[in-house]
Amino acid sequence: DLLRLLAKGSIRPVIGRRVSLEEAGRALEDHEQRRTTGRTVVLVGA
């Protein structure tokens, strides 16, 4: 059901921030320390 709602656009994930692949380690640390809000997206090749 969740995937169906996502496909319909009824729900959308909250993106808290976007980081480069080089910043992924720090982003993971921030996540583990609960310093993030929403999803963190790692941009590969950016």
- Is 26 strand, coil or helix? helix
Is 10 inside any structural domain?
A: no
CA angle 43, 1, 34 (to 5 degrees): 45
Q: What are phi and psi of 10, to 5 degrees?
A: -70, -30
CA distances 40 to 4, 6, 8, Å, are 22, 18, 22
Q: What are the pLDDT tens digits along the chain (46 aa)?
A: 899 999 999 999 899 999 999 999 999 999 999 999 999 999 998 5
CB crowding 21-37: b at 16 or more within 10 Å, else e: eeeeeebeebeeeeeee
pLDDT, residue 18, reads 98
pLDDT, residue 1, reads 87
pLDDT, residue 28, reads 97
Is 7 inside any structural domain?
A: no
Is 24 inside any structural domain?
A: yes
- The boundaries of the domain holding residue 23 are 15-46
